[in-house]
Chains A and B, each alone.
Chain A
Amino acid sequence: MSIQTALELVLAAVVLGLAAWAVAARETSAAVVGFIAYGLLIALVWVALGAVDVALAEAAIGGGLGGVLLLSAGARLRENEKRAAAERPGAGARLAAAALSAMVAAGLAVAVLRLPTPAPTLAPQAAANAAATGMGNPITNVLMAFRAMDTLLEKFVLLLGLVGVWSLAADRLWGGNPGPRHQADPLGLLAFLARLLAPIGVVVGIYVVWTGADHPGGAFQGGTVLAAMWLLTMMAGLTDTPPVSSLRLRLVLVAGPGVFLVVGLAGLLFGAAFLSYPAAYAKPLIVAIEVAMTLTVAATLTLLSAGAPEQRLER
């Protein structure tokens, strides 16, 4: 057994241990913390699997923003623990659930072990067609050019999710600001961190988007860093969440899928098919779409984390 295999086994064992902790912990806050640690270690697993882009996305979205969401929800639901604990299913139900989970896991394990060899792959084709976009990162090529339809539909799914979250506001609060108004001390420590870290974070986020063309990175990862910086300034009380009825906010949210859709329709009207880029303008068009996408992803992820409107709109 080589050192690399031994390291991979140790990493997999630690990840499984954290997943078991997130499942078995008595208190919800302990389970949430275990899940956040699990998310960060899964990012390491993705690096070991050779997919640095996915590792960046998992660390930022899965570990970072997901952690913020679950932690704040767990804090607000703290009074619910005893009521929930009283509803634990009996030993028979738990045994049946364990048997079902084991069967599903066994079926998946057989499927994974019986995957065909040699493994089929699209990597050579992706590399051969990279000249069509002029970008060196195969995952960005797949996301923005070869499977652009998936990315376009994903933008609409994000928008629908946000509309769903907003629609959960009480009627009298519609149009107000999401989340409670954070009242941190403007001269205090959290405000200091927000003032110092947010500019650095914005530069890092824009860099991650820009470098995604040829190196690991991309619009989703960079947009998430920007979203985290906006959330930090909101939590420090330096700025309030924007009211959901704000026209500027809605324009930013629609910009990403809108630009994508316009380029796609232009491809249908003037080119070969929906979302076909003309060969000469492929890279500038993709960059334009990525800029719009980054702004939209940053705004959408921030607002998804902030939640449904809870402050009445000041008129």
Chain B
Amino acid sequence: MRLALDVLTIVAVSGGAFFFLAGTVGMLRFPDTLTRLHALTKADNLGVGLVVVGLLPQAAGPREAAELLCTWLLVLLSGSVVSQLVARTVFATDRLGDALARGPGPPR
């Protein structure tokens, strides 16, 4: 039983590490901010989630397991809100840049 739990930990944490790697490669290789954000969300949600799932069998009790899950939920919350804020700012800045480049004219 112990062995099965340890194998689950290794598999899940390795999977989480793979998603982190994929997210980082995406962030470095994608052309602009919005696509990079898309890559980072994979690392945030799936990467941290798999690592937390992998650590659950190693937790000392139900309270520690609950703490791990709360950590993941808080990362999800802050990550999603921050991605939205960054994306909206980029969108608005691009719009402003386009409008300034177009010059005065009838408003869209």
Contact = CB atoms under 8 A, between A and B. Distances in A.
A193 B74 contact: no
**Interface size, B (range):** under 10
Contacts, number: 15
Nearest to B73: A200
A200 B85 CA distance: 21
Interface string B76-88: 0110010011001
Nearest to B84: A189
B interface secondary structure, majority = helix
B77 A197 contact: yes
B63 to A, nearest CB: 12
A190 B77 CA distance: 12
B77 A196 contact: yes
A interface secondary structure, majority = helix
A192 interface: yes
Interface in B46-83: 74, 77-78, 81
Nearest to B82: A193
A65 to B, nearest CB: 16
B74 A190 contact: no
B20 to A, nearest CB: 14
B74 A189 contact: no
B85 A197 contact: no
Nearest to A190: B85
Closest 6 CB pairs of A and B: A193-B81, A189-B84, A189-B81, A189-B85, A190-B85, A196-B77
Given A189-B81, A190-B81, A197-B78, 10 more contacts: A189-B84, A189-B85, A189-B88, A192-B81, A193-B78, A193-B81, A196-B77, A197-B74, A197-B77, A200-B74
15 contacts: A189-B81, A189-B84, A189-B85, A189-B88, A190-B81, A190-B85, A192-B81, A193-B77, A193-B78, A193-B81, A196-B77, A197-B74, A197-B77, A197-B78, A200-B74
